[in-house]
Each structure stands twice: as structure tokens, then as C-alpha cells.
Amino acid sequence: MTAPNLDRWLERPLVPLLERLQLLGRAAAPQAWSGRYRARSKGRSLEYAGFREYVPGDDPRTLDWQALARLDRPYVREYQAERERTVTLLIDGSASMVAGDKGDTALELAAALGYCTLHHGDRLEVVLLEGPRALALGGGRGRPARHRLAVALAAAAGRMAGQRAAGVLQVGQPAGDRAGTHAGKGQEVPGEPAAARAAGGGPPVPTALRAALQRWHSGPGGEQARAGARAGPAWGPPRRGGLAILISDLLDPGGIDSPAYFRQVAALLAAAGQGAVIHLLDLDDRVPPPGEWTLVDAETGTTVEVTVDGSLLARYRQAVARWAEGWRRACHAQQVLYVAVPAPAPARTLIAGHLVPAGLLG
């Protein structure tokens, strides 16, 4: 069996760019590990932070002799410590993401962000959000962790492929003259009434994000992945002093039009210290051609009968815009960076056209 390799998800021409860029979102790290992450606390390092008057108990090696000679008073130099932080990549592997190529786009972005994280000396954690579970697929620090990143991405890709093989996604065709089904694209329509969304019966299945919120309040779980990665415990409460990045289409059967849910997810990411959301939007691919259709929600299997025409498409796009704006506002309120990107699209296009201008990379 061939060992997993990052080349599957990371284009070689993109590597030099990633080595020049850094993930932004500076916050103080909780532990004095060596890394390229600049903490707010003072420590012995090469980064000069200024000087202050000497007080008894200061290390005499920090005396600024030039300042003493110039001012005739003892001063000590202060330095800004360089510490590592933990960057957690949360990859949405739910049914709506597996549909089409959104899952592939998420894995390519995770490969790029993970490579950038490891290149600059930070610690990486990769978590797959799958159904109601959050599976810790592995990570680490430094060059050896690149292989573990590849293993984690291969595990995520394998689990997504398993959903396809199991028949989770079935794209229908019109039946009879015009009626038919359209599934496999996570056909949750933002702004649709809850009763219409539940037409197929059955309660919404809790997503991994919702389960992570529950673990945040009750403590971490013990779920492990079974797809070839060296999995650890399921992701629970965020580790303070790090950066949590969610890569998702943000479709949730129970929270598609819930501002409270938006705020809870944003707060969960912010609890890591810094948070970011990369929102994968594929407006055109998820819209069926004009006609009478039965929309099937890839997350729950519920159905909605609709007549697709110009008026419905206009309302749909307006609803999507309001929905995305709701996420943006919720993230902004928690000081979490929100970036909406088109999907599917090559990672290099999304990085240059969206992530760098938004400030996630720079």
C-alpha cells in the first residue's frame, strides 16, 4: 500500500507561497514551547521588546549598559517570547459536504493551511466532523507531522468515499414529464419554513458541530476514527491560546436559520483564543433546472416539493445571502474571522483570491 502523501491535495507550485505566508490571528500562548508564534508575555528571546528601570531581583544579565552609561540609571532589556500555538483544522465531513466536490475543496484547503502551520513551527490538530461525531485524526509539530497530516487527510478522504459508496448520495433525475428528485447537494434551503423542511418526517440528525457544542459544555468525549489514522480522543473543549479554523458549508438541519446557533458555533471557535470560518458556498451547482422537483436533504433524507422557476431562484439566492450575512454577523460579534468562498475551486485560487485578502493568511 502506498503511504499517504501531501502531493495528493497540495500542488507543488503552491508550496513556496505557503512558506512565505503565515496564518494570522495573534494571541498569547499558554505554554512556553519553542515556536514562531509571538506571545504577549515577556521572556528571553531574540525579539527585543523595549526596556524598563532595574528593580531588585532582575537578572543582571539583562542590564542595558548603554542605557546605564547614557542615563546614569540602571535599565534592563525586555524581550518578547516566541511560543508555539495549536492550530486546529475542523473539516466538515457531513453528507452535504461529501456531495459534489465540496469535500475535496475542504481537504485541499486543510492541506494548505496545515502545511503553513507546520512550516512556521506551530502545533497542528486535524479533526473530522462526521455526522454527530468529531473525530480527532491526528497532528503534531514540525516536519515529521507532515506525514501525519497526510495520513489524517487520507483518513478523512476515505471516510467521505465510504459515504458515497454506501449510497448516501443519490442524484435523481426528473421523472415523467417534469417531476423528479434532486438530491446529493445538501438541499437544505435557507429561509424555508421549518414545517416544509420536515415534510419527510423525523427529527433533524445532530451534526458534529452541534455535538461539539454539547461536549464543550459537558466535557470531551472518547470517540476515535477507524480509517487508518492514529486517532486520538474526539475534539472537545478548544485549547485556549490557539487558532481554530472551521472549513464547512455550514448546513445544519436544526440550525439553518437559527441566529442563536450561529452565535454558539462562533463562540466555540473563539474559545480557542482565535477563530476563523471558511464558508464553502456553491450557489449554482445546488440549484436544479426549472421544473417540478422533490428536493431531498442529504443530511436528513427529508423532502420538499417545489416548482423551480425564476421567482423561486431569486428568493433562494436572497435567502442564501441573508443566511451568509447572519453567519458573518455572528462571527464578527465573537471576533471570529468569516470568509465565504466559492466551491468547488482550486485551493490556490481560494488562497490568493479570498483567504489572503480576508487576512487569514498574509
How confident is the model at residue 215, as a pLDDT?
Answer: 62
Query: Is the pLDDT assigned to residue 276 strictly greater than 90?
Result: yes
Mean pLDDT of 340-348: 93
Pair 347, 108: CB distance under 8 Å: yes
Number of helical H runs and strand E runs in the chain: 11, 11
**pTM of this prediction exceeds 0.85:** no
pLDDT digits (tens, 9 = 90+) for 288-331: 788 898 877 777 778 888 898 989 888 888 888 899 999 999 99
Average pLDDT over residues 279-285: 77
Q: Is 93 left (phi over 0), alpha (psi -120 to 50) or beta?
A: alpha
Q: What is the mean pLDDT of residues 69-77?
A: 84
For every residue of 269-310, which 3-state class applies, written as one string? HHCCEEEEEEEEECCCCCCCCCEEEEEECCCCCCEEEEEECH
- Looking at the chain, the whole-number percentage of residues with pLDDT higher than 70 is 65
What is the spatial distance between Cα 264 and Cα 250, in angstroms, rounded to a whole number?
13
Read off the pLDDT of residues 149-181 as tens digits, 9 standing for 90 and up: 999 999 999 988 887 766 544 333 333 333 344
Contact 183, 298 (CB under 8 A): yes
**pLDDT higher than 90, residue 232:** no
Flag whether pLDDT at 225 surpasses 70. no
Judge contact between 341 and 354, C-beta under 8 A.
Answer: yes
* The pLDDT of residue 83: 55
Task: Give percent above pLDDT 90 in the chain.
Answer: 31
Q: Bigger pLDDT: 111 or 204?
A: 111
- SS3 state of residue 52: strand
Mean pLDDT of the region 241-245: 90
Integer angstrom CA distances of residue 355 from 107, 109, 251, 319: 15, 10, 21, 24
Whole-number Å distance between alpha carbons of 28 and 37 = 9
Shortest CA distance to 47 belongs to which of 58, 55, 56, 36? Answer: 36
pLDDT confidence band for 245 (50 / 70 / 90): very high
pLDDT of 10 higher than 80: yes
Instruction: Identify whether the C-beta of residue 250 lies closer than 8 Å to the C-beta of residue 331.
Output: no
Strand locations in the chain (E): 34-53, 75-83, 86-92, 123-130, 133-141, 181-182, 242-248, 273-281, 291-296, 303-308, 337-342
Round the average pLDDT of the chain to a whole number and report it.
Answer: 75
Confidence of residue 48 (pLDDT cuts 50, 70, 90): low
Evaluate if residue 40 carries a pLDDT over 70.
no
DSSP letter at 354 equals: I
